[in-house]
Structure 1
Amino acid sequence: MNRAQGQFSDLSHLVLPRSIALIGASDRADSVGGRTLDNLLAHSSYQGKLHLVNPTRSQVRGMACHPSVKDVGTPVDVAIVAVKADSVLPALEESAALGTKFAMVLTSGFGEVGEEGRRAEARMAELARSSGMRIYGPNCPGLNNINARLGMTFSPAYRFDQMPGPIGLATQGGGMGRTIIQAMARGIGTGLWFSAGNEVDLEVSDFVHYMATADDIKVIATTLEGVRNGPRFLEACQHAARHGKPIVAMKIGKSEYGMKAAQSHTAAITGSAEVNSAVFRELGVTEVEDVDELVDVAALLARGLPTGREKVAVFCYSGGTAALAADKVGQAGLELASFTDATTATLQSQLPPYAAISNPVDTTAVVLTDPEIGYASLKAVAQDPNVGAVIYPIPFDYGEVTTTAARSAVRVQQEVDKPIVMVWMSDKLGDGYPVLVEGGIVPARSVENAVKAVQRYLERGAWQSSHDAAWRPGALAGKPEVAHMGDSQPTPVREHEAKARLKSAGIRVPRSRFVAQQQDVAKAFSELEAPVVAIKIVSPTITHKSDVGGVLLGIRTADAAVAAFEEMMRTVAQAAPGHALEGVLLEEMLEGPFAEVVIGVHRDPVFGHVCTFGLGGIAIELFKDVSRRLLPLTPQRARAMVEETRCVRLLKGFRGKPATDIDALVDALVSVSTLVTTTPGIEELEINPLAVLPQGGGVVALDAVLNLGNDKQ
């Protein structure tokens, strides 16, 4: 349904069209066409040409009305379609024939309601492909270019929500976007809002790509129910990163309940929450959990981009509140700054002797009675060279004295080029609250929210300073791993064949022999010349061999191996009836100390191949201590995967245990990545466990699962 990755249209004439045709213009104030016309005429500052289309009227609101869009006679930049669902396709066909650049379908009743609607959307998508006319929607509230005061929308709230600002917003649903727009009540404006609806053609990725280079947008915010085209999303986010434009995203549909709601809302593909989050981290997209957090983080990033190394100061006139804020800073893994001697001396000279002048700062109530002391002490803290951000909670409303404190904070923020993150904690919004709002500070509503916003802010800075700008996900290279298998089932590869592929990729595997008949077991055992042997069932359809009695360990003699063969074939046949049992694999057992880890790769249907790393055996399922990356892996990215897990402490040696060969582990991760990205058709590859030996000993793949696409053997 979507265009290929890399083909992004210029949306400038969608965002600010020179000519608009409103198809379905109406005098009825409560109709979609009537409300849209009212927003264009009465509540916008649109200077371009406006053509009205309605087959039943010669005039609407005193303006001439065409019976059909083809009667406009000249191509238009945007056709806004506000007619009933059964009239949408004819209107789009006529718009395309006219040479229209963009068609915006406000009408609902398509893919979100059933199969008939999905068929109509498929025809829309084909029309967009064949004609070159890009389609926005359907089932959307329109487009709000608030910085240009242009509302191509039927929303009655548009006339009230017109605060320009540095935030650019791309959403799939309409209601959530309006919530974010109305954060203007906290002092931050959303200058541009795309609401994509069912994304039959244009999608969130297109809007992110456009805003990456829009001069009036400093931060891109998005809410996503699903990503329809993974490669396009990856390219759009990388485009934003190359231009230093931060993205803040809220993904809806992480739980089973959320996924069902998202699918019924816009028929979106929600995808795996874990994979989505991993992809966001890779791309430098700041993921948030709710609307409050999205607004707090976007507003903070709009003030400027951090390095990620900044330390925090807490400034307050309530000792208990200062302690709470410092505690939250510590829980978030942030670091309180140590003041310079000069700052400490300044605070000592300004504040009473019973004030706390180390970080966190408790000024006591003196700042409420003497506003100049509040201003001077806050400025001293904010100007300290060791301080990168100041968190300033206002715990209660004290009328005029609190208002004075808010004025001091705004004054300091205007004079200091560091973020002062204000927190208005009281449910009573006194006169000091609008002072902060009008000063553009965007107060958080809780200490936890403020600290979380600072944490996300610094994480974005750390990513910016450490990411590899030259790296590109494999999905963007048009390689075979991004092909979709549809409903076909992958073909499993036998363990010894999978290990042969690993060995060819440079990953050490145990010596082994495949045996199909019991009479060949003794000979195979002798050929191995191993002191201890493991015997495993060989079946193309049994993945978890130990669950059905398909693994026996510690075999030390040929006679024991022969007996193990007979026992295993009988046991597995009873435990897993119907599976083809082809024989057994005799494999040397690894002796000596080693740590067990997992390296797994699977093809995500949206983003392509994803690598997962974590502790081996059942521990990966029990503790879920894993890291994930898109392929291909570089040595730097592979090492980062290992370092960000908690189990890295075990690998480095914990409580007397020997340190393991992490360098060899990193090499194995890169080798697996190379194998997958250069071998067509790999759906899944898992090494579980991979034995990581003590330093210098390397790694050994003790077990391997490989599944291939049916068309790529």
Structure 2
Amino acid sequence: MLLQNTPAMAHTRANERGDTAVAANLHRLLNPTSIAFIGGRSIASALQRSREFGFKGDIWLVNPTHAEIDGERCYARVEDLPRAPDATFIAVPSTAAIGVVRELAARGAGGAVVYASGFSETGAEGAALQASLLEAAGDMAMLGPNCYGLLNGLDGSALWPVAHGTARVERGVAVITQSGNLAYNLSMSARGLPFAYLASVGNQAQVDVARLVNAFVDDERVRAIGMHIEGLKDVSAFSEAATRALARGVPIVALKSGVSELGAQLALSHTSSLAGADSLYDALFQRLGVIRARDPVELVETLKLLSIAGVPRRSTLAALATSGGDAGLVADLAEAQNIAFPAVSERGRATLQGVLPPYANIANPLDFTTTPWGRPDAMRTCCDALLSEQPGAAAMILDYPKEETGERPQCDIAADAFAASARAHGVPAALISVFPELTPPEHALRMAAAGVAPLQGLREGIAALGAAMWYGKTREARLAEDRLSSLPVLRVPGLAASDAPGRLLDEWASKRLLAGYGLDVPEAVCVSPAVAPAAAQRLGFPVCVKVVSEHLPHKTEAGAVALRLDSPEAVARAVTRMTESVARYAPEVVVERILVERMASPPLMELIVGVKRDASFGLALVLGSGGVLVELIRDTATLLLPASEQDVRAALLGLKLGPLLTGYRGSAPADLDAVVRNVMAIARFAQDHAQTLLELDVNPLLVSKDGAVAVDALVRLAS
């Protein structure tokens, strides 16, 4: 069969060609052989910083009014440059930046950093300017606007407006941030994080987080990716990029701001990013194996561990400390991270008894006392005794005193013995200081060169270990489940504002639609009020009766529901009462149809299953404790679509009421398979109606030991 070309197909092919061109130009921007700086007198110092950083390519200045700045030749126009630059730093006002970008694109430049603000973050007028800027860029890769710049520690390019504190590296982490000031502060951090790249993306007019993740995943010198985001421009594109990163074993660590209501408002005003509901970001990150950091320090320490030591093989830790107090703190903090400590084997115990005093408590974590202190062989024996037991990772807790104490050589002996043991046994290892300031920079560099991550701060260090272990476990599970192809979230089209109210289907219509997808619903009929008693007689008692109307979504409040009716007379009286109650509650609603249902048996528990539509995330499946508990305990889990049966089962068991599903304290277990089957029916319906589904609510789904049944359902579709 021959497919006929259509305008839509031609547009898609054009977009694909454009994406390919932008990706190629982004590579030029990230790894340039030539750089141009365009702006006022300050650009000469920016040029000098690139030279000091060790950039070996050509560097040019462009300024229309100066023949030279600080002894550096200036070209009057972009077209005067010897050739099209791979990368350009544009430091001119917002309106002028549009013309400069247009000239660069016409010349065939690779990419540009637009430093100026005053675009979409300022409102409608700025958004129009940003649209013009994007049009001017064409296929040229563009970072910003309203961004700080780009540092490449691998090759020495610095498209950066001010000084920075990063060092040249052979490999390391790529960090993406929407905040220019955070980018600057990260560059000045004295925590020894090896920056392969540091990119500030600002408004993400063209090059967004997803494009950069894709580019960094393709660079074998990048060991891990960090990102600070206020909102994702394209959640589906990010999920595809993060899936590639997971497949290739490049961990991503995310710091998401805008968690609080006020934080979300600030994110919108800061870089025009719409910060979605935080639960949706949690669901996205869990799905994709993205580690979530709570603050910038945790972000840095986790990236440091992943880039220097790597990913632990399992969630177990061998820990050594210089005191019993430190060992106890490690045990307490590790418990919150679900880190286990394997017991010391009999062989290890015998080895340690040979070097430690009789009063030593031989355990893991190990307080190795002061006996082996300053003795290289004894320290190596202690480390080998624990690290040879095949732990997932190893940690030594070690604070360096001030240099004038004269005790640093003993610390070096302990650290070197630990590093040698970790290297010999192939164990990812970290040396952690209890207090961040007690890690001297020179010691941190020496440990990093030995493959041991120098982590600063006990809580942050243990959190980094727990996060790395979670990533390793999650990635292994995704690969074992062969889930990678289904991890990217469902692409759902945006709807017009006029579609927002949508069309609410009544309970009868909603249940019929969902039952067609396999949802278990009670045996029922929909009849006129006069026929309801006879219909109930045919169904068999007890029954419930409800008023059916798309204009009456909250039937309980309207008095439009009657339960546990056991005779035709009871049904007739109930219909009369409901009709009168609805007339008082909603006079505009005419009672013309009655839903008569067989009463379900008393359940073990009630669940709510819903689907909500989000402008950024598409369709999200929400599972939780149902009935009156929905608002009381707010026990819910969120999954993005498409969702697998494994996802649904794990989410259900992770609820606070999850233990009731498997039988709590001798109670009968629920039919978990039936619950999962019904949830998957709802998920299939949602995916098939992704074009028009606005929301869906099944509350409650009654769960018993031999089945599950949906006794109420509402579906809202776009008009």
Alignment partner, residue 8 of structure 2: none
Q: Equivalent residues in 2 for 1:480-519 (5 A)? A: 481-486=492-497, 488-516=500-528, 518-519=529-530
Counterpart of 2:714 (choices 702, 705, 708) is: 705
Of 573-582 and 88-97, deviating more is 573-582
| 2:154 counterpart SS class | helix
| 1:302 counterpart SS class | helix
What percent identity do the matched residue pairs reach?
28
Alignment partner, residue 34 of structure 2: 19
Question: 1:456 Cα deviation (Å)?
Answer: 0.8
- Partners of 1:640 and 1:302 in 2: how far apart? 30
Counterpart of 1:233 (choices 229, 238, 241) is: 238
Q: Equivalent residues in 2 for 1:36-75 (5 A)? A: 36-40=46-50, 42-72=51-81, 74-75=83-84
Conserved in 2, the CA contact under 8 Å of 1:473 and 1:630? no
Counterpart of 2:185 (choices 179, 201, 206) is: 179
Conserved in 1, the CA contact under 8 Å of 2:213 and 2:241? yes
Q: Equivalent residues in 2 for 1:569-648 (5 A)? A: 569-576=579-586, 583-648=593-658
Task: Give yes or no for the alignment of 1:566 onto 2:581.
Answer: no
Conserved in 2, the CA contact under 8 Å of 1:507 and 1:699? no
- Partners of 2:91 and 2:592 in 1: how far apart? 64
User: Which residue identity does 2:343 align to in structure 1?
Assistant: S
Counterpart of 1:201 (choices 197, 206, 210) is: 206
- Partners of 1:125 and 1:349 in 2: how far apart? 70
Residues 373-429 of structure 1, C-alpha deviation per residue, up to 9 Å, x if partnerless? Answer: 3343123222222x2222332368484445523442244224422233333224763
| 1:547 counterpart SS class | coil
User: Which residue identity does 1:391 align to in structure 2?
Assistant: A
- Partners of 2:67 and 2:399 in 1: how far apart? 61
Counterpart of 2:253 (choices 237, 241, 248) is: 248
- Partners of 1:80 and 1:702 in 2: how far apart? 62
Conserved in 2, the CA contact under 8 Å of 1:329 and 1:335? yes
- Partners of 1:4 and 1:523 in 2: how far apart? 62
Question: 1:460 Cα deviation (Å)?
Answer: 0.4
> Cα gap change, 1:295/1:698 in structure 2, threshold over 3 Å: closer, same or farther?
same
> Cα gap change, 1:438/1:304 in structure 2, threshold over 3 Å: closer, same or farther?
closer
| 1:277 counterpart SS class | helix
* Alignment gaps of 5+ in structure 2: 1-11
User: Which residue identity does 2:46 align to in structure 1?
Assistant: T
Q: Equivalent residues in 2 for 1:30-109 (5 A)? A: 31=42, 33-40=43-50, 42-72=51-81, 74-109=83-118
> Cα gap change, 1:300/1:413 in structure 2, threshold over 3 Å: closer, same or farther?
same
- Partners of 1:75 and 1:297 in 2: how far apart? 39
> Cα gap change, 1:382/1:127 in structure 2, threshold over 3 Å: closer, same or farther?
same
Of 587-596 and 167-176, deviating more is 587-596
Residues 588-609 of structure 1, C-alpha deviation per residue, up to 9 Å, x if partnerless? Answer: 2102444222222222221221
Alignment partner, residue 153 of structure 2: 146
> Cα gap change, 1:410/1:706 in structure 2, threshold over 3 Å: closer, same or farther?
farther
Conserved in 2, the CA contact under 8 Å of 1:307 and 1:465? no
Question: 1:83 Cα deviation (Å)?
Answer: 0.8
User: Which residue identity does 1:134 align to in structure 2?
Assistant: A
Of 652-661 and 5-14, deviating more is 5-14
Alignment partner, residue 676 of structure 1: 686
| 1:223 counterpart SS class | strand
Residues 566-590 of structure 1, C-alpha deviation per residue, up to 9 Å, x if partnerless? Answer: 3223324434566676543222210
Conserved in 2, the CA contact under 8 Å of 1:482 and 1:609? no
- Partners of 2:469 and 2:354 in 1: how far apart? 32
Of 292-301 and 441-450, deviating more is 441-450
Alignment partner, residue 412 of structure 1: 418
Question: 1:369 Cα deviation (Å)?
Answer: 5.3
User: Which residue identity does 2:446 align to in structure 1?
Assistant: E
Conserved in 2, the CA contact under 8 Å of 1:212 and 1:239? yes
Residues 160-203 of structure 1, C-alpha deviation per residue, up to 9 Å, x if partnerless? Answer: 322535111111112222333344x2332112111101111111
- Partners of 2:182 and 2:578 in 1: how far apart? 58
| 2:122 counterpart SS class | coil
- Partners of 1:424 and 1:101 in 2: how far apart? 44
Counterpart of 2:394 (choices 382, 390, 402) is: 390
> Cα gap change, 1:704/1:108 in structure 2, threshold over 3 Å: closer, same or farther?
same
> Cα gap change, 1:188/1:428 in structure 2, threshold over 3 Å: closer, same or farther?
closer
User: Which residue identity does 2:608 align to in structure 1?
Assistant: V
> Cα gap change, 1:577/1:473 in structure 2, threshold over 3 Å: closer, same or farther?
farther
- Partners of 1:653 and 1:430 in 2: how far apart? 50
Task: Give yes or no for the alignment of 1:123 onto 2:132.
Answer: yes
Residues 411-453 of structure 1, C-alpha deviation per residue, up to 9 Å, x if partnerless? Answer: 422442223333322476376x742453224444433222222
User: Which residue identity does 1:599 align to in structure 2?
Assistant: V
> Cα gap change, 1:485/1:536 in structure 2, threshold over 3 Å: closer, same or farther?
farther
User: Which residue identity does 1:338 align to in structure 2?
Assistant: A
Question: 1:150 Cα deviation (Å)?
Answer: 1.2
| 1:37 counterpart SS class | helix
Of 294-303 and 200-209, deviating more is 294-303
Alignment partner, residue 688 of structure 1: 699
Normalising by the residue count of structure 2, what TM-score does the alignment of the two structures yield? 0.90
Q: Equivalent residues in 2 for 1:645-656 (5 A)? A: 645-656=655-666
> Cα gap change, 1:21/1:371 in structure 2, threshold over 3 Å: closer, same or farther?
closer
- Partners of 1:96 and 1:428 in 2: how far apart? 47
- Partners of 1:577 and 1:272 in 2: how far apart? 37
User: Which residue identity does 2:614 align to in structure 1?
Assistant: D
Counterpart of 1:313 (choices 318, 339, 342) is: 318
- Partners of 2:464 and 2:223 in 1: how far apart? 17
User: Which residue identity does 1:84 align to in structure 2?
Assistant: P
User: Which residue identity does 1:392 align to in structure 2?
Assistant: M
Normalising by the residue count of structure 1, what TM-score does the alignment of the two structures yield? 0.90
| 2:193 counterpart SS class | coil
Question: 1:94 Cα deviation (Å)?
Answer: 1.8
Question: 1:472 Cα deviation (Å)?
Answer: 3.9
Conserved in 2, the CA contact under 8 Å of 1:396 and 1:425? no
> Cα gap change, 1:379/1:704 in structure 2, threshold over 3 Å: closer, same or farther?
same
Conserved in 2, the CA contact under 8 Å of 1:683 and 1:707? yes
- Partners of 1:430 and 1:195 in 2: how far apart? 28
> Cα gap change, 1:211/1:486 in structure 2, threshold over 3 Å: closer, same or farther?
farther
Residues 453-476 of structure 1, C-alpha deviation per residue, up to 9 Å, x if partnerless? Answer: 221111101101101444445866
Counterpart of 1:357 (choices 353, 357, 362) is: 362
Task: Give yes or no for the alignment of 1:451 onto 2:462.
Answer: yes
Alignment partner, residue 132 of structure 1: 139
Alignment partner, residue 349 of structure 2: 344
Alignment partner, residue 172 of structure 2: 166
Question: 1:634 Cα deviation (Å)?
Answer: 2.6
| 1:366 counterpart SS class | coil
Conserved in 2, the CA contact under 8 Å of 1:18 and 1:49? yes
RMSD: 2.6
Question: 1:305 Cα deviation (Å)?
Answer: 4.5
| 2:606 counterpart SS class | strand
| 2:438 counterpart SS class | coil
Conserved in 1, the CA contact under 8 Å of 2:243 and 2:487? no
Alignment partner, residue 273 of structure 2: 268
User: Which residue identity does 1:453 align to in structure 2?
Assistant: A
